[in-house]
Chain A
Amino acid sequence: AQKVTQAQTEISVVEKEDVTLDCVYETRDTTYYLFWYKQPPSGELVFLIRRNSFDEQNEISGRYSWNFQKSTSSFNFTITASQVVDSAVYFCALSEGPNDYKLSFGAGTTVTVRA
Chain B
Amino acid sequence: ETGVTQSPTHLIKTRGQQVTLRCSSQSGHNTVSWYQQALGQGPQFIFQYYREEENGRGNFPPRFSGLQFPNYSSELNVNALELDDSALYLCASSQTGTFNTGELFFGEGSRLTVL
Tell me the A residues contacting B by CB distance below 8 Å.
4, 33, 35, 37, 42-47, 50, 91, 93, 95, 98-108
The answer to the question of B44 belonging to the interface, with a C-beta cut-off of 8 Å to chain A, is yes
The B71-115 residues at the A interface (CB cut-off 8 A) are: 88, 90, 92, 94, 96-97, 100-109, 111
Contact A101 B31 (CB under 8 A): yes
**Known interface pairs A99-B96, A105-B44; A44-B2 also in contact (CB < 8 Å):** yes
**Known interface pairs A43-B109, A107-B41; A101-B58 also in contact (CB < 8 Å):** no
Number of contact residues on B: which range applies? 20 to 34
Contact B102 A33 (CB under 8 A): yes
Contact A45 B90 (CB under 8 A): yes
Give the distance in Å from the alpha carbon of A104 to the alpha carbon of B104 in the complex.
13
Q: Which residues of B contact A50 (CB under 8 A)?
A: 101-103
Give the distance in Å from the alpha carbon of A99 to the alpha carbon of B34 in the complex.
15
Using CB atoms, name the residue of chain B closest to A104.
B45
Tell me the B residues contacting A by CB distance below 8 Å.
2, 4, 31, 33, 35, 40-45, 48, 56, 58, 88, 90, 92, 94, 96-97, 100-109, 111
- Closest Cβ of chain A: how far from B50's Cβ, in Å? 9
Give the distance in Å from the alpha carbon of A50 to the alpha carbon of B97 in the complex.
17
Contact B104 A102 (CB under 8 A): no
Q: Which residues of B contact A99 (CB under 8 A)?
A: 96-97, 100
- Closest Cβ of chain B: how far from A8's Cβ, in Å? 13
Give the distance in Å from the alpha carbon of A108 to the alpha carbon of B41 in the complex.
7
Give the distance in Å from the alpha carbon of A99 to the alpha carbon of B105 in the complex.
14
Q: Which residues of A contact B104 (CB under 8 A)?
A: 45, 47, 101, 103
- Closest Cβ of chain B: how far from A109's Cβ, in Å? 10
Give the distance in Å from the alpha carbon of A54 to the alpha carbon of B108 in the complex.
32
